[in-house]
Amino acid sequence: MSSTKDIDALIEMMAKLPGLGPRSARRAVLHMIKKRALLMIPLSDTLQNVAATARECLNCGNIGTSDVCDICTSHKRANGEICVVEDVADLWAMERSGVFKGRYHVLGGTLSALDAVGPEELRIPKLMTRIADEHITEVILALNATIDGQTTAHYIAGELETRGVAVTSLAQGVPIGGELDYLDDGTISAALKARKAL
């Protein structure tokens, strides 16, 4: 309990963030009040800036500050390879490993009969367009090793069968049930190097 509505509201909002519960939200708020000038005010300002400028890349779904992201506009990344990931956190994880030199395509989730998520909800039509437009020769499916992730990988592989592109997937090093964003950079790097044709 705090004596002010704003502090209570702040704790409630912080507790909505993934990874934080009520207790850690309270700790975080007290910590920020102690670090007002060094942390709380800069954080508020930066949140405002990011809220004003961050947007999804219209091409790949990455988060950036322009309509088309830096990776999509970089000519150095136009090597004919597209790495398909479930979400932006996975793209960031791939980038941290520093091994992949092509471009990305962020699906925004996985196919799921249960949640009624079909290809149209997943930026899959856009992937098909890009494969033609960007002269793609290899599609690397870097989806999570979950049932939904693998179902989605097989669906995309099926759609690409007649398109004349190689379809590969991360293989070695990704543990069963593992999610990319939890893996260390070395594991991702090994999995990419040992990728196999589907």
By CB under 5 A, residue 123 contacts Zn ion:
no
Task: Name all contacts of 85-91 with Cβ < 8 Å and 24+ positions apart.
Answer: 85/142, 85/143, 85/180, 86/110, 86/143, 86/144, 86/149, 86/152, 86/180, 88/61, 88/62, 88/63, 89/180, 89/181, 90/142, 90/144, 90/180, 90/181, 91/62
Question: Which of residues 17 and 197 has its CB atom nearest to a second copy in the complex?
Answer: 17
Least separation in angstroms between CB 181 and a second copy: 7
By CB under 5 A, residue 84 contacts Zn ion:
no
Least separation in angstroms between CB 19 and Zn ion: 26
By CB under 5 A, residue 60 contacts Zn ion:
yes
Least separation in angstroms between CB 196 and a second copy: 26
Q: Which of 10, 11, 14, 69 binds Zn ion (CB under 5 A)?
A: 69
| Residue 63 identity | I
Binding partner of 197, given Zn ion, a second copy, none, CB within 5-8 angstroms per partner class: none
* Tokens standing for residue 29: 């708020």
CA distance 57 to 132: 18
The interface region with Zn ion, picked from 52-60, 87-95, 138-146, 181-189 by CB under 5 A, is: 52-60
By CB under 5 A, residue 136 contacts Zn ion:
no
